[in-house]
Amino acid sequence: MENQEQSGKRLVLVPGPFHGHLTPMLQLATVLKSKDFSITIAHTQFNNPDSSAHPDFTFLRIPDGLSEEEVRNPDLIAIMLRLNVNCESSFRECLTQGPDHMEPVDKICCIIYDALVYFSETVARDLKIPSIAMHTSNAATNLVRPILLQLKAQGHIPVPDSMLQTLVPLHQPIRFKDLPLSNFGSLDYFLEAVVLMHKIRSSSAIIFNTIHCLEESPLVRLHQRYQVPIFPIGPLHKFAPTSDVRLLQEDTDCITWLDKQTHNSVIYVSLGSIAKMNQDQLLEMAWGLANSKEPFLWVIRPGSIPDLEWIESMNEEFKECVRDRGCIVKWAPQKKVLAHDAVGGFWSHCGWNSTLESICEGVPMICQPCFGDQKVNARYLTHEWRVGLELEGEIERGTVERAVRTLMKEKEGEEMRQRVLDLKRKVDVSIDDGGSSCHYLSEVVELLRSF
Ligand code: UDP
**Mean pLDDT over all residues of the chain?**
93
Distance CA 6, CA 4 (A): 5
Ligand 1 binding pocket mutation candidate from 18, 26, 28, 334 (most atoms within 8 A of CB): 334
Angle between helices 397-409 and 411-431 (to 10 degrees): 70
Looking at the fold, whether 42 and 106 belong to one and the same domain comes out as yes
Find the 215 Cα to ligand 1 centroid distance in Å: 21
Looking at the fold, whether 238 and 344 belong to one and the same domain comes out as no
Is 424 among the domain residues?
no
> In the predicted model, what is the mean pLDDT of residues 87-115?
87
C-beta of 243 in contact with ligand 1 (< 6 A): no
- pLDDT score of 313: 82
Find the 15 Cα to ligand 1 centroid distance in Å: 16
Looking at the fold, whether 144 and 293 belong to one and the same domain comes out as no
Instruction: Enumerate the H helices of 199-331 as residue ranges.
Output: 216-225, 236-239, 253-259, 279-292, 316-322
Is 335 among the domain residues?
yes
- pLDDT score of 97: 84
Looking at the fold, whether 182 and 130 belong to one and the same domain comes out as yes
Looking at the fold, whether 219 and 76 belong to one and the same domain comes out as yes
Is 213 among the domain residues?
yes
Is 237 among the domain residues?
yes
Is residue 218 pLDDT above 50, yes or no?
A: yes
Looking at the fold, whether 303 and 359 belong to one and the same domain comes out as yes
Distance CA 296, CA 316 (A): 18
Looking at the fold, whether 294 and 231 belong to one and the same domain comes out as no
Q: What is the pLDDT of residues 360-417, one digit of tens each?
A: 999 999 999 999 999 999 999 999 999 999 998 889 999 999 999 999 999 999 999 9
C-beta of 274 in contact with ligand 1 (< 6 A): yes
> In the predicted model, what is the mean pLDDT of residues 258-276?
97
Is residue 241 pLDDT above 90, yes or no?
A: no
- pLDDT score of 1: 34
Q: Which domain holds residue 302?
A: 253-409
Return the amino acid letter for 230. Answer: I
Return the amino acid letter for 309. Answer: E
- pLDDT score of 3: 38
- More confident: 243 or 144: 144
> In the predicted model, what is the mean pLDDT of residues 178-198?
90
Within 10 A of 425 (CB to CB), how many other CB atoms are there? 12
Give the three-state DSSP class for 357. Answer: helix
Is 419 among the domain residues?
no
Is 141 among the domain residues?
yes
**DSSP of 176-200:** GGGS----SS-HHHHHHHHHHHH--
C-beta of 203 in contact with ligand 1 (< 6 A): no
Distance CA 325, CA 148 (A): 44
Within 10 A of 349 (CB to CB), how many other CB atoms are there? 22
Asked if residues 234 and 356 have their Cβ atoms less than 8 Å apart, the reply is yes
C-beta of 353 in contact with ligand 1 (< 6 A): yes
In Å, how far are 281, 406, 437 from 294, measured between CA atoms? 19, 11, 37
C-beta of 436 in contact with ligand 1 (< 6 A): no
Model confidence, pTM: 0.95
Q: Which of the residue ranges 93-97, 251-255, 326-330, 408-412 would you say has the lowest mean pLDDT? A: 93-97
C-beta of 357 in contact with ligand 1 (< 6 A): yes
- pLDDT score of 251: 94
C-beta of 17 in contact with ligand 1 (< 6 A): no
Looking at the fold, whether 171 and 315 belong to one and the same domain comes out as no
CATH number of the CATH domain containing 215: 3.40.50.2000
> In the predicted model, what is the mean pLDDT of residues 308-332?
92
Looking at the fold, whether 49 and 150 belong to one and the same domain comes out as yes
Find the 357 Cα to ligand 1 centroid distance in Å: 9
- pLDDT score of 26: 96
Distance of CA 100 to the CA centre of its chain: 34
Find the 49 Cα to ligand 1 centroid distance in Å: 15
Find the 130 Cα to ligand 1 centroid distance in Å: 31
What proportion of the chain, given as a percentage, has pLDDT over 70? 96
Looking at the fold, whether 365 and 435 belong to one and the same domain comes out as no
Looking at the fold, whether 35 and 105 belong to one and the same domain comes out as yes
Find the 338 Cα to ligand 1 centroid distance in Å: 12
- pLDDT score of 2: 33
Is 37 buried (19+), middle (13-18) or exposed (0-12) by CB count in 10 A? buried
Is 5 among the domain residues?
no
Find the 403 Cα to ligand 1 centroid distance in Å: 22
**DSSP of 69-111:** HHHH-S-HHHHHHHHHHHHHHHHHHHHHS--TTSPPGGGEEEE
Q: How many folded domains does the chain comprise?
A: 2
Angle between helices 279-292 and 397-409 (to 10 degrees): 40
Looking at the fold, whether 393 and 444 belong to one and the same domain comes out as no
How, if at all, do strands 326-329 and 38-44 pair? unpaired
Is 420 among the domain residues?
no
Find the 323 Cα to ligand 1 centroid distance in Å: 26
C-beta of 369 in contact with ligand 1 (< 6 A): no
Is residue 243 pLDDT above 70, yes or no?
A: no
Find the 96 Cα to ligand 1 centroid distance in Å: 35
pLDDT band at 101 (very low <50, low <70, confident <90, very high): low
The residue whose CA is least distant from atom 17 of ligand 1 is 20
- pLDDT score of 8: 66
Q: What is the pLDDT of residues 1-52, one digit of tens each?
A: 333 444 569 999 999 999 999 999 999 999 999 999 999 999 999 998 888 8
> In the predicted model, what is the mean pLDDT of residues 54-62?
94
